[in-house]
Structure 1
Amino acid sequence: MEGSSPTLFSLLIQQRGWTDPHVFARRYASAARELSVAEGPPSLATARVEVRQFNRWLRGDLKGQPRREARRILEHLFRPTPVDALFKPPVLSPSVTTEPTDSAGVSDAAGMDHAVPGEDMVMAAAEESADFAARVEGSNVGPATLEQLEADIRRVVSTYPNRPVQSLFSEVRRLRNRTFELLEGHQRPDQTVDLYLAAGTLCGVLANASFDLGRYEAAETQARTAFLCGEAAGHNGLRAWVRGLQALMAYWDGRPEAAVRLAEAGSQYVPEHGTAAIRLASIKARSHGQLQQSSEALAALLEADRLRDQASEDALPGMMAFPLGKQLYCASTTQLWLGGSSGLDEAETMAEQAVADFRSAPAGQVRLGELSLARMDLAVARMGRGDLEGAAIEVHEVIQVNGQRRIESVRKRLGQFGRQLTAHPSGHSPMGIGLREALISHQDRLARELPPGGPA
């Protein structure tokens, strides 16, 4: 297939603005990862193209076809154009008189009008613009690139608390991969720091998402990478936030001693600003409560109150922030662990305040997972006081939301409540039996669905 005539491959490369070998390499690597997830094998995700190979393809300097792995990736990248057509001269329509490099000279049959469905088309257009901005800046990173990355991260963390986790996961993963690719290039030291902070934040989001999907091992891996990025960036806020997430995962995994240790380890990092320290104290309070360490739990709640009085605004909103509602919810859980009539009263009051705080958010900004967990605290407190009807109202609300936005911690709380209800005297009343049947039906429905999550 040796020759010097322009090929469809060279024409497509010019039209898409991928003539820079590094830009094409990013597109090729991204296509390899997508193909690995969609069709396999997993090893395909690490496929790369060398600059020398790209230049040979661009010149049409081939003897035969590319190897099988490269053929698959190229067909995926330029779909629906078959790879056999890529390294031949483009097919021109009879009316075309321009040079072969003119986009008008390529017929639809040659694959130029390759439609990308729905959201993929929008994301592809945005990524092409981002690549163009990077070329204009004369570097793989510049002000426009970093501004766009920061805007994307802000959007993701803002919308995470009220979006289905599964639909968000792929988007965050794509942003993380792009950030990793930028870090492989050359930047000024201050830009490298910004990229490490961005990469750490995105790995933190993926860790939280993996945890919400019940994939604890993947979540821990993501969290370790996020912390390493925070170390590389020298950013206390990110390090404290990640340690808090690790402590939270240990708490939900039934390891309260480890949760306390991780929360205390995070406390050595004084955040530049924001609420990460309050989050650490609140998680520590819950963990001490689970261990029935009353004095330590109450001291941690007081510490959270003190830190709230000193807190400044978070740099990033949404899931990276720890609003008052979450602090109240953690306090209500702590009181439930400690038990007693006074603990039930305190838990009910704090859970009611947390629910009211979450529900007061503007439409589309309600933190659905935390609202559900606060409702479960309220349900447990009410059942403990003998108010099964009041408890049932909250549980039914949670079942409805969890059917739309599945979160592992909410699933666990529903299961815990079901076991408590079975052991409670009112669990065998007509209302109790009906509530137990609703819980069993909900859990069975979730179990019949495909398990959540995926490669991280």
Structure 2
Amino acid sequence: MASDQEISLFQVLVQQRGLGEYLVFLKQLQTAAAEVARLEHNPALAKVTIGERQFSRWTRGQHGSGPRPLTARVLEHLFQRSARELFGPARAAGERSSRLPAAQCIEPGASSDAHTRDLLMTAASESASFAAYAEQSNVGPHSLEQLSADIRRIVSTYPNRPVVPLFEEVLSLRDRCFELLEGRQPPAYTSDLYLAASVLCGILANASFDLGAYREAETQARTAFVCAEQAGHNGLRSWIRGTQALICYWEERPHDAIRLVKSGEQYVPENGTAHIRLASIAARAHARLGQEHDAVAALRRADEYREQAADDDIPGGMLAFPLAKQRFYAATTRLWLGGDANNREAAALAEEAVALYESAPPENQRLGELSLARMDLALAELAGDEIEGAAHQIDAVIAVASRRPTESVSRRLGQFARRLAASPAGTSAIGLSLQDGIMQHRRARNELPAGGRG
């Protein structure tokens, strides 16, 4: 970069092209930004601008570390020179480096009254320009209200909608949210946007998980947590740690799941059920490891959190952890622990969960969770030699999964089929019919194109 004593190529070209006035330069810059954004298919470039204060510094040879990458790209398009050349010495670029107007080449130590007056006027003008710049915002209350409304609609309908089309809708909203964050807005709006971005990335993590893309789900969850950190929202921090723990649980990494639960428990939610969810996930992970004492303690902790929970989750919907879900997580825990007493307890808990889910209006039913609760009930009934009851639950699960398949339900069906094949009931007429039905369902699902699996 050119030193403050040397005339830069940027200074020379600005003068040669008659761009010394800020508003004239800004108009040319905006035109160049729109052109390069269109050519490179990058909407962020169209939003590039330079404040009058920064422009004034550059035309006085005060370049600092030079422009940011996006700004540099627009300047390169405008002047057809690299940023390194533009902010390097004009003589190095072979340009005529005649002296700039005196107003831009004031000798050090000048103390005339005219210079002092010019200096004061320039400083005041720069401050006024910065104040106007600080008041600019690319988002207002109406935009944030619409974004919040879209998120509330999505989280309330996610549990009973096909996953792939919903994923595409959420992805579009997330991209819009990221674009807004790259612009300028008051700090309070920035916090709201980070909160929205955290929720949207959390939904994408959940959807990726439902589609069996666990690595992608982990990436989305990490980004969601970063955004929750920027928003300073404990409830989301806790909920996202729960999502990460859940992914580890399904990837057969119960130790990592427990570690993430402990991390999430450090954040006391502002309201809602995030800690109930964490404790319930921990119970299943401990049970998966055969740690009955810790599993039962976690179930007890979830009950205590339920008694203390105040107000509803924000924004609710899929981010909430209702009693029905707590009961079916407890049922899964008991099934992992095994034994006659735990199997009976699992059957009772799963039956209660199914009843609670079915009591919701059809448009609000959580179809995937209801199916998983039915799977727990079917496994408990199979363990109790109630093959007809198990068959009733499996038939209901397959009917729903044919319309809204998810990876977790598919895996549980496979688990049930293996348990059934190894049990005496597996050779019965009902047992053989069940195995055939599960096999046909899984074959049909595997034959679907990717977009048909939502």
Q: Do both proteins adopt the same fold according to a TM-score greater than 0.5, normalized to the shorter chain?
A: yes
Letter paired with 1:378: L
1:424 correspondence with 2:420 = no
What aligned pairs does 1:73-112 form with structure 2 within 5 A after superposition?
none
| 1:365-423 CA distance string (max 9 Å, x none) | 10000000000000000000000000000001001101100111001100100111110
Letter paired with 2:221: A
In the alignment, which residue of structure 2 is the partner of 1:232? 230
In the alignment, which residue of structure 2 is the partner of 1:382? 381
| 1:87-128 CA distance string (max 9 Å, x none) | xxxxxxxxxxxxxxxxxxxxxxxxxxxxxxxxxxxxxxxxxx
Distance in 2, matches of 1:264 and 1:160, equals 27
Instruction: Specify which of 260, 264, 267 is matched with residue 266 of structure 1.
Output: 264
Letter paired with 2:266: Q
In the alignment, which residue of structure 2 is the partner of 1:209? 207
In the alignment, which residue of structure 2 is the partner of 1:159? 157
In the alignment, which residue of structure 1 is the partner of 2:313? 314
In the alignment, which residue of structure 1 is the partner of 2:189? 191
Instruction: Specify which of 300, 303, 308 is matched with residue 301 of structure 2.
Output: 303
In the alignment, which residue of structure 1 is the partner of 2:401? 402
CA RMSD of aligned residues (A): 2.4
What aligned pairs does 1:26-425 form with structure 2 within 5 A after superposition?
49-50=45-46, 139-312=137-310, 313-425=312-424
| 1:197-223 CA distance string (max 9 Å, x none) | 100110000000000011111111100
Letter paired with 1:153: I
Give the superposition deviation at 1:45.
Answer: 6.9
Give the superposition deviation at 1:451.
Answer: 3.6
Distance in 2, matches of 1:158 and 1:45, equals 34
Give the superposition deviation at 1:290.
Answer: 0.6
User: Is the CA contact 2:238–2:267 (under 8 Å) kept in the aligned structure 1?
Assistant: yes
Give the superposition deviation at 1:50.
Answer: 4.4
User: Is the CA contact 1:348–1:378 (under 8 Å) kept in the aligned structure 2?
Assistant: yes
Distance in 2, matches of 1:52 and 1:242, equals 33
User: Is the CA contact 1:259–1:287 (under 8 Å) kept in the aligned structure 2?
Assistant: yes
Query: Looking at CA atoms only, which structure, 1 or 2, has the larger radius of gyration?
Result: 2
User: Is the CA contact 2:136–2:184 (under 8 Å) kept in the aligned structure 1?
Assistant: no
Give the superposition deviation at 1:142.
Answer: 1.4
What aligned pairs does 1:433-452 form with structure 2 within 5 A after superposition?
433-451=432-450
User: Is the CA contact 2:155–2:315 (under 8 Å) kept in the aligned structure 1?
Assistant: yes
In the alignment, which residue of structure 1 is the partner of 2:61? none
Letter paired with 2:323: L
Letter paired with 1:427: G
Letter paired with 1:302: R
| 1:217-272 CA distance string (max 9 Å, x none) | 11111000000001111110110000000000111111111111111111111100
Distance in 1, matches of 2:42 and 2:425, equals 57
User: Is the CA contact 1:210–1:453 (under 8 Å) kept in the aligned structure 2?
Assistant: no
Distance in 2, matches of 1:184 and 1:143, equals 17
| 1:137-174 CA distance string (max 9 Å, x none) | 96211111111111111111011011111110111001
The 1:184–1:346 alpha-carbon spacing in structure 2 relative to 1, beyond 3 Å, is same
Give the superposition deviation at 1:441.
Answer: 0.5
The 1:233–1:421 alpha-carbon spacing in structure 2 relative to 1, beyond 3 Å, is same
The 1:48–1:193 alpha-carbon spacing in structure 2 relative to 1, beyond 3 Å, is closer
Give the superposition deviation at 1:315.
Answer: 1.7
Distance in 2, matches of 1:316 and 1:343, equals 35
Give the superposition deviation at 1:188.
Answer: 1.1
Runs of 5+ consecutive residues of structure 1 not aligned to the other structure: 1-19, 33-43, 54-136
Give me the identity figure in percent: 56
In the alignment, which residue of structure 2 is the partner of 1:113? none
Distance in 1, matches of 2:47 and 2:241, equals 40
TM-score (norm. length: structure 1): 0.71
Partner SS for 2:364 = coil
The 1:141–1:48 alpha-carbon spacing in structure 2 relative to 1, beyond 3 Å, is closer
Partner SS for 2:349 = helix
Runs of 5+ consecutive residues of structure 2 not aligned to the other structure: 1-28, 50-134
User: Is the CA contact 1:355–1:375 (under 8 Å) kept in the aligned structure 2?
Assistant: yes
Distance in 1, matches of 2:142 and 2:267, equals 31
Distance in 2, matches of 1:51 and 1:279, equals 41
Distance in 2, matches of 1:305 and 1:350, equals 13
User: Is the CA contact 1:214–1:452 (under 8 Å) kept in the aligned structure 2?
Assistant: no
